[in-house]
Amino acid sequence: MARKKKKMRIKPQPPIDKWGHPSGTRSWWVAAMLVIIGIALAGFATTRKHDIFNDGKVVLSEGQLIQAVTVGGPRKPPPPPPPKSELDLAIQQFLGDQADALTDQGPQDAKKSGETTPNDFCPT
Amino acid sequence: MRAMAESSKPNIPRRRLNLGKLRPWVQTAFLAVWLDPLLLRWHSVPGCVFHCYACPLATVACPIGLMSQFAAMHMWPLMILGVLITVGGIFGTAVCGWACPFGFFQDLLGKIPTPKYSIPSWLGYGRFVTLIGLVLLIPFFFGDEHPLFFCNVCPAGALEAALGQSIYRGQLFIPNTIKLIVTGVVLFLAFFTYRPWCRIFCPLGGIFAIFNRFSLLYLHYNAPKCTECNLCRSRCKYDVKLDQSINNASCIRCMECTNCPAITLTVAGKTPKTPEANPPQPVPGK
């Protein structure tokens, strides 16, 4: 009768590295290097300045830039409107202040009606 | 005499601290830190957890939101990288398991007694897809107005910023459609699997997962102590094969597996004692 072979299960053993430690162990210097690199990066970041629009007018430190980003981001001011034509000036003169009041009311009405944009929630 | 006194000590096994039971308390304590009880508003400091800075209660700024913004501005986020490398180099993904408020929220949802399913491990690569695609490439090439810009799809933004601002301002803020869909999917999945956002999509989890193999704090598997009782695998909610690849990228270091005597939380540089390395000393006089 063929003898029934007992299945031998080999217990998993971690391979031994060249220092004689099981391979699960690790040296502290890799983590220490990472921590030093991280602190050096953060430290260097605190000293650098950002010229936001490359015109020398808005120069922020990294912390100020992050602060600006979290409240809506540094935005370039919109360009001034083109000079009005004579007809536009005449209409404005005719309507008086009512024209400005009407144009200003538009966006406020939109806000009141609850219309939102995606960036209302994550200021970008 | 001293040796004899030591040999006469009863061999009582040392009681192991159940780190898993400690975790909700630590998460609650960290929640109190991130929710700005002192109204500090340190928004110029990048944090190390996933917590939207548009939330009315946010102490520090979300590193992923900031990375997206810096990518849109074509700048290197050096301070954010510095913070993440430092924290990741020390703790690895323990930040996700013990400090992250969005992870804590998912942990609470996971406590709802619904059937829980495991997810294939390859879905973990989704975190790197999110990191490279939505956090770096889309903002870099298309700016922050693109509908797939990370903050425009972030579920933490939907819950913490939109809901938070609605309560804070007393006015209803409705997130955009993509964000609502992503949030709905994540919340739905959270009922049927543990931490779906962290395991499939979270770009911050992806960054910390890279450090899991190098961090100062790590989990050590002591094979000679293993009795193949399968306790570690049964305890792990994230399907990590602890006896084969401990400190895997899927691990969030919840420390539930440290109930098994073969697995210990260790500091790098300190070689854990093994039975082979330290054979029992012969008792003098015998």
For the stretch A74-121, pLDDT in tens is 555 566 777 777 778 877 777 765 655 555 554 444 444 444 444 444
Can you tell me the mean pLDDT for A11-30? 61
Cβ neighbours of B179 in A, within 8 Å? 118, 121
A37 touches chain B (CB under 8 A): yes
Q: Do A73 and B69 touch (CB under 8 A)?
A: yes
Residue A39, min C-alpha distance to chain B (Å): 6
Amino acid identity, residue B108?
L
Closest CA to B33 of B2, B5, B65, B60: B60
Q: How many CB atoms lie within 10 A of CB B119?
A: 18
A12 touches chain B (CB under 8 A): yes
Please answer whether residues B209 and B256 qualify as being in contact, where contact means their C-beta atoms are separated by less than 8 angstroms.
no
Residue B2 is encoded by which pair of tokens?
């001293």
Residue B92 is encoded by which pair of tokens?
């690895």
Please answer whether residues B217 and B247 qualify as being in contact, where contact means their C-beta atoms are separated by less than 8 angstroms.
no
Residue A100, min C-alpha distance to chain B (Å): 28
Residue B234 is encoded by which pair of tokens?
């049964």
Q: Do B269 and A41 touch (CB under 8 A)?
A: no
Cβ neighbours of B247 in A, within 8 Å? 24
Please answer whether residues A30 and B214 qualify as being in contact, where contact means their C-beta atoms are separated by less than 8 angstroms.
yes
Residue of B nearest to A9 (CA): B228
Return the pLDDT at A100: 56
Return the pLDDT at B62: 94
Whether residue A63 has pLDDT greater than 70: yes
In whole angstroms, give the CA distance from residue B12 to residue B188. 47
Residue that is written with structure tokens 């993440």 in the block: B84
Residue B232 is encoded by which pair of tokens?
């570690």
Beta-carbon contacts below 8 Å between A and B: 166
Kindly indicate the confidence band of residue A71, based on its pLDDT and cuts at 50, 70 and 90.
confident
In whole angstroms, give the CA distance from residue B199 to residue B177. 23
Return the pLDDT at A115: 47
In whole angstroms, give the CA distance from residue A18 to residue B92. 25
Can you tell me the mean pLDDT for A41-70? 88
Collapsing DSSP states into helix, strand and coil, what is residue B84? helix
**Residue ranges, chain B, pLDDT below 70:** 1-16, 271-286
